[in-house]
Chains A and B, each alone.
Chain A
Amino acid sequence: MLKSSPFKWLLVALAYLAGSCAQQSDGPDEDRVIISIWTRWSGFEKDVLDEIIKDFEQEQAGIKVQMFTMGTPQKIMLATAGGNPPDLAILSGPYIASYAENNALTPLDTMVAKAGIEQDDYYPVFWDAATHRGHLWALPISAGVTALHYNKKMFREAGLDPDRPPRTIAELEEYNEKLLKRDAQGRITQMGFLPDKPDWWVQYYGYWFGGKIWDGESQLTLSDEANLNSLHWLASYPERFGADTLENFRAGLGSPASAQNPFFTEQVAMTIQGVFLSNFLEHYLPDDTSLEWAIAPFPSATEDGPPMGLAEGDLCVMPAGAKHPEEAFAFLAYLQRPEVMEKLALGHRKLTPIKEVSASFTEEHPHPYIKDYLALLKSPNLRPHVQLVNANELRNAMRDMFYGVYSGRSEPGAMVERIEPLQQKILDRKLSRWERVEAARLKEWSEQ
């Protein structure tokens, strides 16, 4: 009956496709244990890890490491929930608390103790970023911190001392005015500083005013004086420069990860950036242009105290239900060796979360201001991403707050009054849900 019909071909095709789909998994026989690691790296960042994997595989003949690219960090949750997690995954950002409380990660405490990895060797801020509810959920594998990057040539042209970067927010704004250029129609063509270029950390400006996001227990503190001051500072932008004028200037600026990065095109003289800016420079800056730049700690509201910075690094987690926890941890422990970490950091041009670095690391590091960065890392005033189970919602709400105020549409006080109670309510609920399972979870975790 099928023979005479053109539909036969459809059936055959269906069967073929279904068949080829069914056997898409493991390839040829492999007597090594295959562990998978997910990253969001591509290009040279991926190449470095590839090299490290090769070294590791030579040392550990029984393990093969496969690297996969994940779309977004949320995919780790999707895969873990779906029962097909990778053995390891590399994250950056405020995910640890919510992933851990949702039981998506394996606590590493026992394995870390057994492997002799010492907390004291690490900068506290990076170790803390991997800890939640008294357990360790990740190991830091690279480190970065934000700093002020400024253009010395533009400083000179504006009559500013190129070796005297601003030290307070007030000074930053003084410089901003001096570096401001407008055309005949009053349109802005150049600025000293724009808080939303890049916009990766706009929710954290309160830190530089001495603010905190929450009290560490259960209360958000978005409306404390320091945070309000930072919002008033941001609200002064549309007031001083004109909301529309500012918006027109902003809209003409390119993406930070491109040759049109306004800092590269010298449309903006100062920017808040991390240690990887030098990568961007090498990648995107056209060969025939050079940029005369330097770094300094990003200025705080007051000059006293050690410099403030947002610490941000890559964390390596082991999702719950990883198929080969022992082999995966062997690789993770390998990544923690100082020389391996330095190799990764050199390749990625980042810093290491370990306090001690070898002399050759500083010498070989391609970043021209690596010493300044190492000094900044030693500041006791570094802060990590907010470590809350509702970090994601809070982050979005705080960004809304930033943009509402910065665009001149909303007044700081009103904005905080609208956003804080709502976020507090969300946090309260998460905490009350946590209380219900707390005892069981903590017991489960300490047994693992």
Chain B
Amino acid sequence: MTQQERQNLRNGLLFISPWVVGFLAFALYPLLASVYYSFTDYSVLSPPVWIGTENYEELADDPLFWKSMTNTLFFAALSIPLSTVCACALAIMLNFRIRFQSIFRTIFFLPALVPMVCLGVIWMWMLNKQMGLVNLGLSPVLGDSVPNWLEDPAFTKLGLVIATLWCLGHSMVIYLAGLQEAPVQLYEAAEIDGAGFWRKISTVTLPCLSPYIFFNTIMAIIGSFQTFAVPWVMMKGEAGPEQSMLFVATYIYINAFDNWQMGKACAVALILFIMIAILTLSVVKLGERKVHYQ
């Protein structure tokens, strides 16, 4: 190592030292500690007692844990593709040379600004069976058999998906930026080939958008696996009728701070982390093959 290299190394490490401390204290340590706690009976108030794999055995045999898993996966599997499609569609529409583009963009973006607790409260009202706007809109079609979004376990998660779709502003703005960067020549070439609207979407627009979709999907996976605040508020601080709004993050919270089973909560947290890591890394792997960078 030359002196310059050594100096650079020292400077570099000095500059990133705040991050290093943060990494050790708020990422590495908690993960390692979680591994240890997950093998103990631990309530914070008394010292942890080693119990081997009992927490994991309990989880394997715990319908609520599986419920939280299926709920989370169901929500993610529904909300991520739907919001991607809707956000792309809106961005494509906005990308035509239209009047009032910035007004439309603002309108579509504004809901993304609403704080999560407000979102929960607003959608509690929007999804109210009798007086909610959603059902007022649906009642001409469905008559009296409108869904009971907040009390019927079959509909609660769908209600949450609707609320989530309302907030797709962030990804829409990203897609719009991506579209505006797409080279005009590609479209012209496609037009010369006689491509129609849908063909241009599939051969030019979507490939151009793919890096953005890729990035957003990763963020959405991480985001939807930590869903907590909105459903928690919508269900007034509970897991909803028949645990239909029990998500993994909710389950961690309840175990840790309602039941004071920190060891079990840590076991769930680790499983959640492994799930996020596997899913994200597989999307990254997939992305390496499918995403077109210009």
Enumerate chain A interface residues (CB-CB to B < 8 A): 72, 74, 77-78, 80-81, 98, 102-104, 244, 247-248, 251-252, 320, 390, 392-393, 396, 400, 403-404, 407, 409, 422, 425, 429, 433, 436-437
Contact = CB atoms under 8 A, between A and B. Distances in A.
Nearest to A429: B58
Contact of B242 (A98, A404, A436): A404
Contacts of B43: 81, 102-103
A163 to B, nearest CB: 37
Nearest to B61: A425
Contacts, number: 62
A422 B64 contact: yes
B238 interface: yes
Contacts of B239: 396
Given A247-B129, A251-B130, A422-B64, A103 B46 contact: yes
B113 interface: no
B16 interface: no
A216 to B, nearest CB: 22
Contacts of A80: 45
Interface stretch (B84-92, B117-125, B255-263, B286-294): B255-263
B128 A251 contact: yes
Contacts of B242: 400, 404
A81 B260 contact: yes
Interface of B: 41, 43-46, 49, 51, 58, 61-64, 128-131, 144, 148, 151-152, 237-239, 241-243, 257-260
Q: Which 5 A-B pairs have the closest CB atoms?
A: A81-B44, A251-B130, A103-B45, A102-B260, A102-B43
Contacts of A396: 238-239
A13 B248 CA distance: 39
* Chain A, interface SS category: helix
Given A74-B257, A400-B241, A403-B241, A244 B64 contact: no
Contacts of A252: 130
Given A320-B45, A433-B41, A422 B63 contact: yes
Contacts of A400: 241-243
B152 A409 contact: yes
Contact of A104 (B45, B241, B257): B45
B95 to A, nearest CB: 38
Given A74-B258, A429-B58, A251 B45 contact: no
Contacts of A102: 43, 45-46, 260
B152 A251 contact: no
A102 B238 CA distance: 22
Contacts of B41: 433, 436-437
Contact of A248 (B45, B61, B130): B130
Interface centre among B128, B148, B152 (most CB of A within 10 A): B148
Contacts of A103: 43, 45-46
A400 B241 CA distance: 6
A251 B127 CA distance: 12
Nearest to B152: A409
B49 A436 contact: yes
Contact of A407 (B49, B128, B151): B151
A180 B284 CA distance: 63
A422 B144 CA distance: 35
A103 B45 CA distance: 6
15 contacts: A74-B257, A98-B259, A102-B43, A103-B43, A251-B128, A251-B131, A252-B130, A392-B258, A396-B239, A403-B241, A404-B241, A409-B152, A425-B62, A437-B41, A437-B46
Contacts of B49: 436-437
B46 A247 contact: no
A20 B90 CA distance: 47
A77 B241 contact: no
A77 B129 CA distance: 36
B144 A244 contact: yes
A438 to B, nearest CB: 12
Contacts of B58: 429
Contact of B257 (A77, A251, A393, A436): A77
Nearest to A104: B45
A190 B237 CA distance: 31
A396 B58 CA distance: 20
Contact of B259 (A72, A393, A437): A393
A220 B292 CA distance: 60
